[in-house]
Chain A
Amino acid sequence: MLKETPLTSLHLELGAKLVDFGGWNMPLHYGSQMEEHHAVRSHAGVFDVSHMTIVDISGEDAKTYLQYLLANDVAKLQANGKALYTAMLNEAGGVIDDLIVYQMASGYRLVVNCATREKDLAWMQKQVEDFQVTIRERDDYAMLAVQGPEARAIVDRLLDAVSELQALKVFSGVSVGTGMDAWFVARTGYTGEDGYEIMLPNKAVETFARSLVAAGVHPCGLGSRDTLRLEAGMNLYGHEMDESTSPLLANMAWTIAWEPEARDFVGRAALREQRDAGLPAKLVGLVIKGKGVLRDGQALVAKSCNEKGVITSGSFSPTLGTSIALARVPMSFANQCQAVIRGREVDVAIVKPCFVRNGQKVF
Chain B
Amino acid sequence: MSELRDELRYLSSHEWARVESDGSVTVGITDHAQEALGDVVYVELPDVGSEVNASQEAGVVESVKAASDIFSPISGEVVAINEALEDAPETVNSSPYDDGWFFKVTPSDLNELDNALDAEAYKALIEE
- A contacts, CB < 8 Å to B: 29, 32-34, 223, 227, 291-293, 295, 315-316, 318, 323, 342
Is B84 part of the contact surface with A, judged by Cβ < 8 Å? no
Chain B CB count within 10 A is highest, among A223, A293, A323, for A293
Give the segment of B61-69, B97-105, B108-116 that binds chain A. Answer: B61-69
**Docked-complex contact A293 and B65, CB < 8 angstroms:** no
Closest Cβ of chain B: how far from A89's Cβ, in Å?
32
| CB within 8 Å for A33 and B39 given contacts A293-B67, A295-B67 | yes
Query: What are 28 pairs between A and B in contact, CB < 8 Å?
Result: A29-B38, A32-B38, A32-B39, A33-B38, A33-B64, A33-B65, A34-B38, A34-B39, A34-B64, A223-B38, A223-B64, A223-B65, A227-B64, A291-B44, A292-B42, A292-B44, A292-B62, A293-B41, A293-B42, A293-B62, A293-B67, A295-B66, A295-B67, A315-B64, A316-B62, A316-B64, A318-B39, A323-B41
A345 to B3, CA, bound (A): 38
Residues of the B chain whose Cβ atoms lie less than 8 Å from the Cβ of A33: 38-39, 64-65
Add 8 more A-B contacts to A32-B38, A223-B65, A292-B62 (CB < 8 A).
A33-B38, A33-B64, A34-B64, A227-B64, A291-B44, A292-B44, A316-B41, A323-B41
Please determine whether A316 and B38 come into contact, CB atoms closer than 8 angstroms: no
Interface of B, helix, strand, loop or mixed by DSSP: strand
Residues of B within 8 A of A32 (CB): 38-39
Interface residue total, chain B, C-beta cutoff 8 A: 11
Asked if B60 CB lies within 8 Å of chain A CBs, one says yes
Nearest-neighbour CB distance to chain A for B88, whole angstroms, equals: 12
Q: Nearest chain B CB to A26's CB is how many angstroms away?
A: 14
Report the Cα distance A293→B65, complex, angstroms: 10
A-contacting residues, B7-38, CB 8 Å? 38
Nearest Cβ on chain A to B59's Cβ, whole angstroms = 10
Within the complex, which residue of A227, A316, A318 is in contact with B42, where a contact is CB–CB below 8 Å?
A316
Q: How far is the CB of B82 from chain A (nearest CB, A)?
A: 15
* Smallest beta-carbon distance B65→chain A, Å: 6
Kindly supply a per-residue 1/0 record for chain B positions 67-78, scoring 1 wherever the CB is within 8 Å of any chain A CB and 0 otherwise: 100000000000
* A29 to B39 CA separation, bound complex (whole angstroms): 11
CB distance from B11 to the nearest CB of A (A): 20
- Chain B residues in 8 Å Cβ range of A315: 64
Q: Give bound CA distance, A266 to B66, whole Å.
A: 37
* Complex Cα–Cα for A316 and B66 (A): 10
User: How long is the Cα–Cα vector from A291 to B41 in the complex, in angstroms?
Assistant: 11
With most chain A CB atoms within 10 A of its CB, the pick from B38, B62, B64, B65 is B64
B-chain residues with CB within 8 Å of residue A293 when the two chains form the complex: 41-42, 62, 67
Cβ-closest chain B residue relative to A322:
B41
Cα–Cα distance between A29 and B65 once the two chains are bound (Å):
11
Alpha-carbon distance between A237 and B41 when the two chains are bound, in angstroms: 26
Chain A residues within an 8 Å CB radius of B60:
342
Q: How far is the CA of A316 from the CA of B37 in the complex (A)?
A: 13
Tell me the bound Cα distance from A34 to B62 in angstroms.
14
Cβ-closest chain A residue relative to B86: A291
Closest to A315 in B: B64
Report the minimum CB–CB distance from A322 to chain B (whole Å): 9
Residues of B near A291 (CB, < 8 A) are 42, 44
Q: CA of A34 to CA of B42 in the docked complex: distance in angstroms?
A: 14
* Contact A318/B44 with A33-B38, A33-B39 known, Cβ cut-off 8 Å: no
- CA separation between A318 and B39, bound complex, in Å? 10
Q: A323: which B residues are within 8 A, CB to CB?
A: 41-42
- Minimum C-beta distance from B100 to chain A (A): 16
List residues of chain A with CB within 8 A of the CB of B39: 32-34, 318
Q: Which residues does chain A contribute within 8 Å of B41, judged by CB atoms?
A: 293, 316, 323
The residues of B that contact A34 with a CB separation of less than 8 Å are 38-39, 64
Inside 8 A of B38's CB, which chain A residues have their CB? 29, 32-34, 223
CA distance A224 to B60 in the complex (A): 22
Q: How far is the CB of A228 from chain B (nearest CB, A)?
A: 11
Given the complex, which residues of A lie within 8 Å of B64, measured CB to CB? 33-34, 223, 227, 315-316, 318
Q: With CB as the reference atom, state the residue of chain A lying closest to B35.
A: A17
Question: Which residue on chain A has the smallest CB distance to residue B69?
Answer: A342
User: What is the distance, in angstroms, from A287's C-beta to the closest C-beta of chain B?
Assistant: 15
Residue of B nearest to A31 (CB): B38
Residues of A within 8 A of B67 (CB): 293, 295
Contacts of A318 in B (CB 8 A): 39, 64
